[in-house]
Amino acid sequence: MESTKKFGIRDKVGYMFGDFGNDFTFILSTMFLMKFYTDVMGVSSALVGLMMMLARFVDAVTDVTMGQIVDRSRPGKKGKFAPWIRRMAGPVAVASFLMYAVWFKDMPMAFKIFWMFFTYLLWGSVCYTGVNIPYGSMASAISAEPKDRASLSSWRTIGATLAQTVIGVVLPLIVYYTDAQGRSVLSGERMMISALICSIFAVICYFLCFHMTTERVKVEQKTEKFSFKELILSLAQNRALIGIIVCALLLLLAQLSLANMSSYIYPNYFGNTTAMAAATFIGSGLTLLLSTFMAPLSSKFGKKEISIAGCIISAAAMIIAFILHTHNVWVWVAIYSVFMLGIAVFNLVIWAMITDVIDDAEVKTGKRSDGTIYSVYSFARKLGQAASSGLSGLLLSIAGYTAATAYDTVVVNKIYDISCLVPAIGIILLALALKFLYPLNKKRVEENAAKLKAKREMM
């Protein structure tokens, strides 16, 4: 194992490419999958949302199983986690492409629903889990230093932001066309081709991550017999893990609900998909700009502390948007940009926070379970994704959205209200959870790092 290489920019850029690859399929599904199935395949929004929620019950098994597989893997020449990224890069890319099989749009509805469920489970519950669990766990093996992990967290978010920029800025200009009535309509054929291109880029990014990162912290293979009961008891007693799980749920409920609604509010309420691309570009630019300051800010003030401040900014933005109920798309873009700026603060440090949770568990129990803890956290994030998709689908259905009513005034006004209120409520609850539930403030994180450093020096 290449443990002699000093941690540096190669690791940061390599780790960035990992989430770049992840989000070539994840952001694509977040922004376009529900729109594709409601508008192209003719499936009801409530059913699509229900599928996304039911899939998370499958993830309860596959995520924890993958965490156990990773923890019990024998470290090889390249390390313990990186080999899984290489193994699963191809399968996750193929599965993502198959979700947008437009050639089935004229098939019976029962078949289309079956295909939707089958490919979504194959992609999200099996293949994406197979690459994402080891990728997320790998951060604590690249470096043991909190400042390095904070840096990796920022670079991971940069990777996700770059993918969001490519997908959110470029694709709306490609996959939509203007029909005879002057309406912006999603093209199923263009969507499928775009999914293929994104899958190819995902594989390239995964292999760059594999070759550029080095695992320095030796993580031993777990050999003791697995006990589900002991796992549940240990997790239930881990307040830091419970806290970060609740925070992840609320973050994704807020952020992805707005992302899901973007595919409806821009073409249907504002009638402007160009602004959708512009909003993504501005939001991504702000995140990238903020990333240059995040490591020193988190070191000085603490990750928990600055995240709460970011939440307050984001919640205020969406409350203002609801009060204004603007019909000016550029006013909306400006408000959305402020929302994304506040969210970016938490997103840039959240991956370092989960390594803090892993450290905290080791200090308390004397055992290190990177893969298992990360898999439980990953499952919680998927619950947040499911909740946002399920809630969006349900609220769209309640609002009366169908292909026939997609541009009715009453319906699109309800879409606007949903786009403001759901994110605002989610972010307010997130700030409260960070303040009162998540216990790892700046002082405790530094104390844990010092204890683990002294422990490893004695080994």
The dihedral sign for the CA sequence 312, 314, 317, 318: negative
Q: Which residue has the higher pLDDT, 371 or 260?
A: 260
pLDDT of residue 225: 61
Q: Which residue has the higher pLDDT, 90 or 384?
A: 90
Using the predicted structure, report yes or no on whether residue 321 has a pLDDT greater than 90: yes
User: What does the block give as tokens for 220?
Assistant: 């031993």
Task: State percent of the chain over pLDDT 90.
Answer: 39
Q: How far apart are CA 235 and CA 116, in angstroms?
A: 33
Annotate 242-308 with DSSP letters as a single string: HHHHHHHHHHHHHHHHHHHHHHHIIIIII--HHHHHHHHHHHHHHHHHHHHHHHHHHHHH-HHHHHH
Give the residue from 384, 152, 348 showing the smallest Cα distance to 255: 384
pLDDT of residue 253: 85
Using the predicted structure, report yes or no on whether residue 11 has a pLDDT greater than 70: yes
Across 367-389, average pLDDT: 74
Give the residue from 374, 439, 445 showing the smallest Cα distance to 240: 439
Q: For residue 99, what is the DSSP state?
A: T
* Strand partners for 78: none
- In this structure, how many other beta carbons lie within 10 angstroms of the beta carbon of residue 57? 11
With a CB cutoff of 8 Å and minimum separation 6, the contacts of 3 are 214, 215, 216, 218
User: What does the block give as tokens for 174?
Assistant: 């490609």
pLDDT by residue (tens digit) across 122-168? Answer: 998 899 999 998 998 888 788 878 778 778 888 988 898 888 888 98
| Matching residue, tokens 């004229």 | 106
Lowest average pLDDT, out of 110-124, 141-155, 432-446, goes to 141-155
Using the predicted structure, report yes or no on whether residue 280 has a pLDDT greater than 80: yes
